Amino acid sequence: MTTISPATTAVGIGLKAEHVPDVIEYEPALDFFEVHAENYMVAGGPALRQLTRVRDRFALSIHGVGLSIGGADPLDRDHLNRLAALLQRFEPAWFSEHLAWSSHGGAFYNDLLPLPYNPATLARVCDHIDAVQERLGRRLLLENPVTYVEFAASTMDEGRFLAEVAARTGCGLLLDVNNAYISAVNHGRDPWDLIAALPPAAVGEIHLAGFAEDRDGAGDRLLIDTHGAPVAEAVWELYRRTLRHLGPRPTLIERDQAIPPLAIVVAEAERARSALLDAAAWAEAA
């Protein structure tokens, strides 16, 4: 099984069913693949067999979307136990989840919903992360969400909130540069404010993806996180600046809609690797 060190120029992409045959046959020049945990929480079947074959050749990053870390309800212990079994089976390089909620009162929502950033939410999120990390026996990477609305009840900005969660729980952070850019544009902020507020040592992985553009009811620019397009040039620019600030970090290209041939996504990953190598050279020369 392949493993990856924390500070690295490693690049990966999300594993898609239509790409699996080519991944297994041709072994593209990638270091890891990411999968969503909830797609593999089963006892057996072809999906698990395919993932096992991929895991024999590449490292994995497993990304959860169902823990509802920010939810008001207690954690779903059955879900957490199934997740623990999955991680034990595949031994991924990283496990990550969103700073969001997706269930309440027994109802489950097909979305990752935003939170108010205040002391009460902070305490709840930290309690949940402590419980998750204790059960899993590993560090969780918490991903900054993409948001389209903000709460009047918030008393902290997102960067300070994430930094405080990491300090209190010892969790890591998954910096989604695309999410930072989208949220900043939607709310009229500078995306660098979020990135600069994060403790560099806590950032364990970076995500890049594409977005769609629309207009809101007032006619203002509205960006939508679709993962259905190439990474935008503005996001590439922000990513390069981020690497100068943080140093190289394992980087994933996400593509979940309008999925192109494998070679197209691999080419985007190679563009990320080039930026990582440039950042490593710059750090060495500084």
- Residue 233 identity: E
**Alpha carbons 97 and 94: distance in angstroms, whole number:** 10
Residue 183, domain member (yes or no): yes
Residue 105, domain member (yes or no): yes
- Name the band, by pLDDT with cuts 50, 70 and 90, for residue 101: low
pTM of the predicted structure, to 2 decimals: 0.94
The owner of tokens 């679709």 is 226
Mean pLDDT of 218-232: 88
Residue 28, domain member (yes or no): yes
Q: What percent of the chain has pLDDT over 90?
A: 77
Q: pLDDT digits over 181-218, tens only?
A: 999 999 999 999 999 999 999 999 999 999 998 887 77
Residue 6, domain member (yes or no): no
Residue 1, domain member (yes or no): no
Tell me the CATH number at 128. 3.20.20.150
Nearest of 239, 250, 188 to residue 63 by alpha carbon: 250
Q: Where are the beta strands (DSSP E) in the chain?
A: 11-14, 32-36, 59-63, 94-98, 101-104, 107-113, 140-143, 172-176, 203-208, 211-215, 221-225, 251-253
Please give the tally of structural domains in the chain. 1
Residue 2, domain member (yes or no): no
Residue 25, domain member (yes or no): yes
Q: pLDDT digits over 230-273, tens only?
A: 999 999 999 999 999 999 999 999 999 999 999 999 999 999 99
Nearest of 63, 5, 58 to residue 34 by alpha carbon: 63
- Name the band, by pLDDT with cuts 50, 70 and 90, for residue 276: very high
**Does the CA dihedral 195-196-197-199 come out positive or negative?**
positive
Residue 3, domain member (yes or no): no
| pLDDT at residue 269 in the model | 98
Answer whether residue 103 shows pLDDT above 70. Answer: no
Residue span of the structural domain in which 146 resides: 11-285
